[in-house]
Structure 1
Amino acid sequence: MQDDFWTRAQEGERDYWRSDFARTQEGNPERRRDLWNGYLDHLRRKRPFHSGDRVLDVGCGPAGIITAVETHCERYGVDPLMDFYRKEYSLPEGIHFSGQTGERLEFADGFFHAATCVNVLDHTRDPQAVCNELFRVLQPGGYLLVEVDTFKGLRYVHKAFKRWTRMVRGRIEKHPHTFRASRVIDMIERSGFEIIEHSLRPGRKRQMLLLVLRKRS
């Protein structure tokens, strides 16, 4: 992924988070809490969050899934647009926010007990590097929740071609990558994760892939 493509994608993200919809809906933690808890329940059924657990959310935005993690945990959220969010939003308290990228996390090996990466991989510069870093910073036996939109058949071809033409023409494209479900699973397995739960929710234009993963002890 060339840096200029990714930089334009980040510009598109900033434009989105300035919109009234983002400010009143996705940027409001209380409006998103039920959605986030629905995702987190997939993790909780495998490994409940314990007091003192360190939990990381990669690509957290101003009101991501980390806001619904139990407050007795040490909660961390990283996003390359964090400086922008600090200026535009009132960020929730009790969370360690920083402007790191998922490709280069500034945490020690095995630092976290659990992590989340929801609607993020297709926004990154190097999704394989993000998967590798998440594996590195999780402790052995740690769990990761991943969710990403995927496409199949002609819908995948159309989406990938549209994305490519927008990027080549210098137009903003918020999603630098278009994935088939098999590509995401391949990246996950290359990183070393064990797939504990795998679900694919069909939609009119896309399929939502949700994975619960574990770093083998």
Structure 2
Amino acid sequence: METIDFDRLTLTPGMRVLDIGCGEGRHVHAAALENVREVVGIDIGRENLTAAREDYEAYIAGETDVPVTFAAGDALRLPFADGSFDVVCCTEVLEHIPDYEAALDELRRVCKPGGTLAVSVPREGPERVCWALSEEYHQVEGGHVRIFDRDELQAAIERRGFRRVDDHFAHALHAPYWWLKCLWWDRDQRDEAPLALRAYDRFLEWDVLESPRPVRLLERALDPLVGKSVVYYFELEGPA
């Protein structure tokens, strides 16, 4: 399930792509199937990196010649030289970082002048519903530490020399799932989730695996209304 729409990016064979907070590698895997020079995914979680490598070897490696690297790393101290990447992705990460502006400084540092930054965070409206339904949702270790205001986040990124070129909402069908999950948070944590939540979970798994066209069209229609994530695309001003 990809949040970044790679069709909105202009990717060429010479480009290096970095995914910060890559998790289990969904965007790394997608980028590796594009026409690029190299893809790097970093994450602070060792278990995530192990899963990402395993899925890459199982499903992606035989489909592409693009070199892929997974490495441990912290968004506040990226282990790369200035201007190392043509495309920098950071999806559903900044809401977990107390000093997110320091993370933005690092995103800016490793992005080449003329390069592209793709960022997503939880959308303010659906996220406020989650916080209202469950305090535990945002108090768990490693959980969300803030609700982003769209304009505030955009302004923070633009202060670093980026220019917004596109944006959209994503994952509308996931918003009700998380509302239900928050509503029954205690029961879910005890593996006693109600039937409705378990059924919705199976539906989303089926959707991710099968990607049926009618469901994709439905979500696309609902994204502007209740999309759980907001996705921004920026260009770093300066010569490419």
TM bucket, shorter chain: 0.5 to 0.7
Matched, 1:39 2:5: yes
Q: In the aligned structure 1, how far is the partner of 2:129 from the partner of 2:36?
A: 45
Aligned Cα root-mean-square deviation (Å): 2.8
Query: Which residue pairs with 1:6 in the alignment?
Result: none
Partner residue of 2:30 out of 52, 58, 68: 68
Aligned length: 173
Q: CA–CA distance in 1 between the matches of 2:48 and 2:104?
A: 24
Cα distance, 1:88 vs. partner? Answer: 5.0
The residue number in structure 1 matching 2:148 is: 179
Using the TM superposition, give the Cα deviation of residue 64 of structure 1 relative to its aligned residue in structure 2, in angstroms: 2.2
Shift in Å, 1:191: 2.4
Pick from 100, 107, 128: which aligns with 2:73? 100
| 1:154-165 aligned within 5 A | 159-160=130-131, 165=135
- Residue in 2 aligned with 1:5? none
With over 3 angstroms needed to count, the CA separation of the structure-2 counterparts of 1:116 and 1:52, relative to structure 1, is same
Larger radius of gyration between Structure 1 and Structure 2: 2
Q: Is the 8 A contact 2:122 2:230 kept in 1?
A: yes
Sequence identity, in percent? 28
Aligned to 1:51: 13
Task: Tell me how far apart the structure 1 counterparts of residues 115 and 26 of structure 2 sit (CA, whole Å).
Answer: 20
Asked if 1 retains the 8 angstrom alpha-carbon contact of 2:49 and 2:70, the reply is no
Deviation, 1:86, is: 4.3
1:202 corresponds to: 224
Query: 1:80 — aligned with what?
Result: 44
User: Counterpart of 1:188 in 2: which secondary structure?
Assistant: helix
Q: Pick closer, same or farther for the CA change 1:162–1:191 going to 2, 3 Å.
A: farther
Instruction: Tell me whether 106-115 or 175-184 shows the greater mean CA deviation.
Output: 175-184
**Offset of residue 91 of structure 1:** 4.6
Please give the TM-score of this superposition, normalised by the length of structure 2.
Answer: 0.62
* CA distance in 2 between partners of 1:151 and 1:67 (Å): 28
Looking at structure 2, the residues matched to 139 and 60 of structure 1 have their Cα atoms a distance apart, in angstroms, of 20
Q: Structure 1 residues 73 and 159 mapped into 2: Cα distance closer, same or farther (>3 Å)?
A: same
Provide structure 1 residue ranges, at least 5 long, that are not aligned to the other structure. 1-31
**8 Å contact 1:159–1:178 — kept in the other structure?**
no
On the 8 A contact 1:114/1:144 being kept in 2, the answer is yes
TM-score, with normalisation over the residues of structure 1?
0.68
